[in-house]
Amino acid sequence: MTKATVGIIMGSQSDLRIMKEAAEVLDELQVAYELTIVSAHRTPLRMIQYAEQARAKGLKVIVAGAGGAAHLPGMIASITTLPVIGVPVKSSNSIDGWDSVLSILQMPGGVPVATVALDGAKNAGILAAQILATHDEKLAERLAAYKQSLKTKVEEAASALEAKGWRAIEK
């Protein structure tokens, strides 16, 4: 079993519906990760322990998702020196997701959190892989192939649209 280099954490189990997308893309890119629940509000000591031990466990990047007040990414970033990527999650207690976005985005000077779009766990996983790829040529090659596949899908869709027209494609 390969040692995890990315930690994926979320404030509650209900966030898994979004955060699994980070795990899925890391699986596709063959990046080892761990995934768990760490609540800034309900398990603050667990959160502190996780952040303090992350580097010693071999983690290189932390992807932290949270909804509502969304303190988890910022609190983790305040404790560790690892890069933290925050994923604002539109949750049942959210104000249309804006509370989560702003809570993660508006960090004070000295405590940076890279922030992706609302429910953007897939992009967080890709960004974590890109950070790791700065020192891993094989991963950089897998990322290049992944991005090429995105280009190919768009080109194929464009060709089909141009050949068949929008009415045929829309069906």
How large is the greatest C-alpha to C-alpha distance in the chain, in angstroms?
59
CB 76 within 8 A of CB 43: no
Whether residue 35 contacts residue 45, with contact meaning beta carbons closer than 8 Å, is answered with no
Q: Is 12 annotated as a binding residue?
A: yes
100 is in an annotated binding site: no
Q: At CB < 8 A and 24+ separation, what contacts does 107-113 make? A: 107/74, 107/77, 111/74, 111/77, 111/78, 112/77, 112/84, 113/64, 113/73, 113/74, 113/77, 113/84, 113/85, 113/86
**Paired residues of 2 in beta bridges:** none
CB atoms within 10 A of CB 10: 27
Which parts are annotated binding residues for substrate? 12, 15, 42
Which parts are annotated binding residues? 12, 15, 42
